[in-house]
Amino acid sequence: MKSLGVSSSFLRRWTVSASSDRMYAWRSCTWISYSVRRRRVLESDMDAGRNFEKPSRLGLLFLSNSFIAHPFSLDPLCATQAPACAMCSKYRRLQKRKSRLAGNLPLVDMLNFLCFSPTQWLPCQSVITPPVASAPGLKYEQVLYPIVAVLCRRNEWQEYRVPRIKAQMPPPTSGRVAAFLTLLVTILVTILVARAPVISSAQGPSAPQAPGLRRELRIGAPGVPAVLDPGSALEGTTPLIARQVFDTLVAWREGSTDIEPALATRWNASRDGLVWSFTLREGVRFHDGSPLTSLDVAISFERQLRPDVQTAGRAWPALLRGAPGVMKEVRAPNARTVEIVLAQPYAALLTVLAHPGLAVAKYSTTADGAGRFVGTGPYRVVDASSGRLALEAVPGHWAGQPKSERMVFLDVSADDHAESELDARSLDVWFPAGPPRRNEGTLSAPGLRIGYLTFQTEKEPFSRKTLRQAVAAGLDPAILGLSLERAALPLQSFLPTGVWARREGSPILGGSRTTMRALLRESRWPKEARPTLLVAAETAPLNLPRLAETIQLLLGADDLSLNVQAEPEPTVRTLLQAGAYDFALAEASVIGGDPHLLLYPLSTSEAATKGPRALNFSFYRNPRLDDVLIRASQLSFRTERQRLYQRAQGLLAEEVPWLPIYVRLQWAVARPEVRGLRLHPTGIHRLDTVSLEPSAAVSPAPAVSPAPAATR
């Protein structure tokens, strides 16, 4: 079924139920079941990206981690009104019935073309209405169903409502049942045939192209680099492009952060966990034609371990968060074996090795004397200039032939620039830094970058545990969602969705107001005291000062008044590293989805040293928590590691040295003819599976000019 681009869980279904002497046929979409424990948390988001080319924003919210919908009011004062609080409480109750309610949503395609307006009847047309409408005595009526969104206009809260189509049918006889089943089979076959891609036996670049078919995929993203070095592929668009050009020893599985083979087909660790051996895949070649050997891998890794070399990157120290000295040496005992020697056992090694920053690269000199890094990935660089990077598919790649023969990355940042290029077909896919203005063809999914509230626990007032607990009790995630808008979702766990050790069933935020007042009395908090909340003066893609003002309103309502101090991001980081603040909003990423890469640097005593290397900005020290996190980072069995990380999150929930607030959303906008686009939780998407459908008309290929400087 996947080869046809259609998931069985997304096929239209007909549910016929008897009501006295009438039959009702309900046309609906069977959404992927979203379990409470979310064992395969982001699989539904990935399937949505694969099977719906233009998924609705509201539908994706249903598949995401939070039930909070947007857009909300931009005025934070509205969040304090009683109707707003009541509406948010209603959504929290509905969250418990998410999977059951999802079956009552209209089709995603229908949502895309509806113009939402509050409390009004809306026209709705079914794509398979004509065959059913021919039945005698059929009468349509529209039924309003509330779905998960609210709108605050002029301080008045209204619900969005969309129609449902209910078809009244006479009770079926045996002949009518047979006719109905025949009709149903015909409809399903028609849908499958219409969705099935045209399959050609010619896979290579020399395959004949259908008339009117453009094999070049144009991708827009902010900050396209002119020089591609995997050692510096740590932030922005560079890791995404490096993922297409360079291969890693191991890779993240599609749709998750689990590990699968890449350049290494198998691996094992010594009994003491200090030596990891990797067996390389046979027949792999660099883009310059030279074969891949273990010595090439060793040289590529050693370059990152030598700070004295000018071309050395920052990958190892940046990716090995909390364990910068864990790497000892890299050896090549034979042509197909690579050995990584560690100074101490490190269970997150495979997750780190899957990052493009540690991809295998070889420095090659061209005929004109220019030097560049070449890889073994599905694409190679054929042209690079300011704001433009052109890639060409490599024939005979070990993972299979890419779907697009050519891929061009263009520097596109502003919404106006992106929309004009998409409309002119000069751009096929756009990866914006934040939520796009356009809804058509938009895809979003929770990422692995979280925002959290860190407390300076070494000094008053937040050296008091009860005061930190009072802050957690006073922050309602539903109301925080008003300020987050479309850029992020409220987070109720110390780990974001998609991380395998996430602790479920124990919300961190949103205790009762009574609990908050009791904790304030217990901490003997003087009403005249006003701590300062430090925040970066960043307004896009997420308006952090507005979020800080919402926190100020929520806490001030219960006699915990505070001041908001907005500073430039470099100043905020300097103050955090020096511990010169009361409490602050900060951000961190779970690199690759291993819980060690977030919990260890943010919570242990080792990372609580003031200065440029500080990662634990709360400067919280707890030997018991240190012991749990160190043991979890050295064990090789995931079951035991998960048990320890669950215990660590329990300790954090009790002590509250830092408080999770939100998880950022990642976004993509694609034209209707784009196929195979899937968002990865890490934000480093695999693009060799993306193509244009055969019916896409040829369009001229004007060079997309670099994006104009955005004014904020």
Res 208: pLDDT = 38
Which of 75-89, 379-393, 501-515, 684-698 comes out lowest in average pLDDT?
Answer: 75-89
Res 143: pLDDT = 27
Res 190: pLDDT = 55
Contacts for 422 with CB less than 8 Å, ≥ 6 apart = 428, 430, 438, 441, 669, 671
Report the distance separating Cα 493 and Cα 503, nearest Å.
7
pLDDT value at 510 more than 70: yes
Task: Tell me the pLDDT band of 684, cut-offs 50, 70 and 90.
Answer: very high
Q: Which fold has domain 213-246+377-441+671-712?
A: D-Maltodextrin-Binding Protein; domain 2 (3.40.190)
Res 322: pLDDT = 56
Res 181: pLDDT = 56
Which of 61-65, 67-71, 242-246, 533-537 comes out lowest in average pLDDT?
Answer: 67-71
Res 320: pLDDT = 79
Res 210: pLDDT = 42
Would the CA dihedral through 337, 340, 345, 351 be positive or negative? negative
Task: Tell me the pLDDT band of 703, cut-offs 50, 70 and 90.
Answer: very low
Report the distance separating Cα 140 and Cα 657, nearest Å.
58
Put residue 273 in one of left, alpha, beta given phi > 0 → left and psi -120 to 50 → alpha.
left
| Token pair listed for 662 | 């939100």
Res 506: pLDDT = 81
In the block, residue with structure tokens 């599905």:
378
Report the distance separating Cα 282 and Cα 336, nearest Å.
8
Task: Tell me the pLDDT band of 187, cut-offs 50, 70 and 90.
Answer: low
Q: Which of 606, 634, 598 is nearest to 622 (CA)?
A: 606
Count other C-beta atoms under 10 Å from residue 126's C-beta.
17
More confident call, 324 vs 120? 324
Res 216: pLDDT = 94
pLDDT value at 16 more than 70: no
Q: Which of 291, 292, 279 is nearest to 333 (CA)?
A: 279
Q: Which of 622, 651, 635, 650 is nearest to 596 (CA)?
A: 635
| Token pair listed for 57 | 């924003």
In the block, residue with structure tokens 């996430």:
502
Dihedrals φ, ψ of 642, to 5°?
A: -65, -40
Would the CA dihedral through 481, 486, 488, 491 be positive or negative? positive
Res 57: pLDDT = 40
Task: Tell me the β-bridge partners of 691.
Answer: 675
Q: What is the pLDDT of residues 51-79, one digit of tens each?
A: 333 334 444 443 333 323 333 333 344 33
Count other C-beta atoms under 10 Å from residue 213's C-beta.
16
Q: Is 446-665 assigned to CATH 3.10.105.10?
A: yes
More confident call, 327 vs 245? 245
More confident call, 10 vs 303? 303
The whole-number average pLDDT for the span 260-272 is 97
Q: What is the pLDDT of residues 374-414, one digit of tens each?
A: 999 999 999 999 899 999 999 999 999 999 999 999 999 99
pLDDT value at 5 more than 60: no
Task: Tell me the pLDDT band of 314, cut-offs 50, 70 and 90.
Answer: low
Report the distance separating Cα 21 and Cα 494, nearest Å.
54
Report the distance separating Cα 498 and Cα 257, nearest Å.
8
Res 367: pLDDT = 67
Task: Provide, rounded to the nearest whole percent, the portion of the chain with pLDDT above 90.
Answer: 55
Q: How many CA atoms lie within 13 A of 410 on its CB side?
A: 25
Dihedrals φ, ψ of 283, to 5°?
A: 80, 10
Task: Tell me the pLDDT band of 201, cut-offs 50, 70 and 90.
Answer: very low
Tally the residues of the chain.
712
Task: Tell me the pLDDT band of 304, cut-offs 50, 70 and 90.
Answer: confident
377 and 288 in contact (C-beta within 8 Å)?
Answer: no
Residue 649's SS3 state is helix
Residue 5's SS3 state is coil
676 and 689 in contact (C-beta within 8 Å)?
Answer: yes
The whole-number average pLDDT for the span 553-562 is 88
Task: Tell me the pLDDT band of 286, cut-offs 50, 70 and 90.
Answer: very high
CA dihedral of 21, 27, 33, 34, whole degrees rounded to 10: -110
Residue 45's SS3 state is helix
Res 145: pLDDT = 29
Which of 286-295, 554-563, 638-647 comes out lowest in average pLDDT?
Answer: 554-563
Domain ranges within the chain, ordered by starting residue:
2-195, 213-246+377-441+671-712, 248-362, 446-665
More confident call, 662 vs 172? 662
On the 0-12 / 13-18 / 19+ scale of CB atoms within 10 A, 613 is: exposed
Q: Are strands 327-334 and 337-342 parallel, antiparallel or unpaired?
A: antiparallel
In the block, residue with structure tokens 């997309």:
704
Largest CA distance in the chain: 84
Written as one string, the DSSP assignment of 452-511 is EEEE-TTSSSTT-HHHHHHHHHH--HHHHHHHHTTTEEE--SSS-TT-TTPPPS---S--
The whole-number average pLDDT for the span 265-284 is 96
Q: What is the pLDDT of residues 431-488, one digit of tens each?
A: 999 999 988 999 999 999 999 999 999 999 999 999 999 999 999 999 999 899 999 9
Count other C-beta atoms under 10 Å from residue 6's C-beta.
17
Helices 638-655 and 623-634 cross at an angle (nearest 10°) of 160
672 and 441 in contact (C-beta within 8 Å)?
Answer: yes
Running DSSP on this structure, what letter comes out for residue 118? B
| Token pair listed for 91 | 């959504």
Res 525: pLDDT = 86
Q: How many CA atoms lie within 13 A of 304 on its CB side?
A: 31
Task: Tell me the pLDDT band of 369, cut-offs 50, 70 and 90.
Answer: low
Res 513: pLDDT = 85
Fold match between domain 248-362 and domain 446-665: no
CATH class label, 248-362: alpha beta
More confident call, 626 vs 154? 626
More confident call, 50 vs 308? 308
Q: Which of 544, 616, 540, 537 is nearest to 576 (CA)?
A: 616
603 and 596 in contact (C-beta within 8 Å)?
Answer: no
Res 507: pLDDT = 86
In the block, residue with structure tokens 């509201």:
58
Which of 366-375, 498-507, 682-691, 699-708 comes out lowest in average pLDDT?
Answer: 699-708
Written as one string, the DSSP assignment of 228-243 is --GGGTTSTTHHHHHH
Written as one string, the DSSP assignment of 539-600 is -SSS-HHHHHHHHHHHHHTTT---EEEEE-HHHHHHHHHHT-SSEEEEEEE-GGG-THHHHH
Q: Which of 591, 412, 578 is nearest to 496 (CA)?
A: 591
pLDDT value at 614 more than 60: yes
More confident call, 372 vs 495? 495
pTM of the model: 0.70
pLDDT value at 164 more than 50: no
Running DSSP on this structure, what letter comes out for residue 395? T
- For the chain, the distance separating the N- and C-terminal CA atoms, rounded to the nearest angstrom, is 46
On the 0-12 / 13-18 / 19+ scale of CB atoms within 10 A, 294 is: buried
| Token pair listed for 559 | 């006699």
666 and 458 in contact (C-beta within 8 Å)?
Answer: no
Running DSSP on this structure, what letter comes out for residue 293? -
Written as one string, the DSSP assignment of 264-289 is EEEEEE-TTS-EEEEEEPTT-B-TTS
Written as one string, the DSSP assignment of 122-188 is -----TTHHHHHTSTT--EEEEEEEEEEEEEETTEEEEEEEEEEEEEEPPP-HHHHHHHHHHHHHHH
Cis before 71? omega within 30: yes
Residue 200's SS3 state is coil
Report the distance separating Cα 324 and Cα 592, nearest Å.
17
On the 0-12 / 13-18 / 19+ scale of CB atoms within 10 A, 258 is: middle
Report the distance separating Cα 108 and Cα 124, nearest Å.
12
Count other C-beta atoms under 10 Å from residue 538's C-beta.
17
Kindly report the average pLDDT of the chain as a whole number.
74
358 and 315 in contact (C-beta within 8 Å)?
Answer: yes
Task: Tell me the β-bridge partners of 583.
Answer: 455, 533
